Amino acid sequence: MMFETDIRPLDLTLTLDCGQAFRWKELEQGFWTGVVGKHMLTLRQSSGSVAINACTDDQNVVRLVRGYLRADDDIARIQRALAKDQTLTRGMKRYRGLRIVKMDEWECLVSYTLATYANIPRIKKMIDRLCTDYGEPIRGGEHAFPTIRRLGEASEKDLEKCGLGYRAKYVAGLCESLTPNELKSMTRLEYPDLKDRLLELHGVGEKVSDCVSLFGFGKLEAFPIDVWIVRALGRLYHVKGSYRKLSEFAFERFGEYAGYAQEYLYFNERSAAHENACAFSEVR
């Protein structure tokens, strides 16, 4: 069934193809298909609206998509706050339609645990296999992301068969360490406490904890740091150092919307490397 909702500003391709989430595929230009919760969806942007093709007549699909795309984020307000940073101001409007997604917390945690030392095609392949083997079948021929309980029934060797390699022990460890109720209770934690709790989990380091805090738990002050961000901070701000040092710099510089600043810097740095098209200029 077809639904439609107004989300502005939005660049759907920029949002779904910038490495935040891993279950989206572009069928043809402007048409994106993926799974959110227990629904297979095809999204298409037309001006300021998003057309939703879903294998259900459940009106809640609109609310699901709006929540996933964080439709209530006031991008104008966020960019005004970040505009205090002159480096971001120079090119930020180019990425005005880029939105941070709000993934399911468990799916996000497992996905980013799998993402360590893997490129995006490999990450997608591992997640697709996990979903096919352990996820609940849903309408449209896809599978939902497997639950903690379902993955917990699999042995480490079973998980290795999904192409996880050494990451299988980390996924198995997550299933042993967490319950659905505990994961739900973690949504009430403030970012510093949430990050500390995530870092207690086997296989979760600084970067994964920040990715999960931002894309899973919606903590917009989280600032994940990977090789692209290290390059961006060094090139634009002339700052180098440990993960913690760079995190402190980012929070002091970008504040409560550091996560959006991270996405702008990340996408800009990748664009600069691949297309020689850099929107930001370095601090003088």
Instruction: Map out the domains of the chain as residue ranges.
Output: 2-72, 105-216, 227-275
Mean pLDDT of the chain: 93
Is it the case that residue 47 has pLDDT exceeding 90? no
pLDDT of residue 282: 53
Asked if pLDDT for residue 63 goes beyond 90, the answer is yes
Mean pLDDT across 209-220:
98
Quote the pTM value.
Answer: 0.94
Q: For position 139, what pLDDT does the model report?
A: 94
Structural Rg of the chain based on CA atoms: 19
pLDDT at 271: 80
The share of the chain scoring above pLDDT 90, in percent, equals 84
- What is the pLDDT at residue 283? 47
The lowest-confidence range among 5-14, 86-95, 202-211, 215-224 is 86-95
CA distance 92 to 88: 5
Residue 79 reports pLDDT greater than 90: yes
- Quote the pLDDT of residue 8: 94
Q: By C-alpha distance, which of 156, 201, 249 is closest to 212?
A: 201
Domains 2-72 and 105-216 share a fold: no
Q: What's the confidence (pLDDT) of residue 275?
A: 62
pLDDT tens by residue, 86-98: 999 877 888 999 9
Instruction: Identify the architecture of domain 105-216 in CATH.
Output: Orthogonal Bundle (1.10)
Residue 158 confidence (pLDDT): 97
Q: What does DSSP assign to residue 278?
A: -
What is the tens place of the pLDDT at every residue in 252-268? 999 999 999 999 999 88
**Cα 109 from chain centroid?**
10
* Among 95, 120, 9, CA closest to 268: 95
CA distances for 139 relative to 54, 57, 62, 69, angstroms: 9, 12, 17, 22
What's the distance, Cα to Cα, between the start and end of the chain in Å? 53
pLDDT digits (tens, 9 = 90+) for 152-189: 999 999 999 999 999 999 999 999 999 999 999 999 99
Q: How many CB atoms lie within 10 A of CB 228?
A: 18
The CATH classification number of 2-72 equals: 3.30.310.40
pLDDT in tens, 98-130: 999 999 999 999 999 999 999 999 999 999 999
Supply the pLDDT for residue 284.
36
Give per-residue pLDDT as tens, 132-158.
999 999 999 999 999 999 999 999 999
The contacts of residue 96 (CB under 8 Å, 6+ apart) are: 9, 11, 75, 79
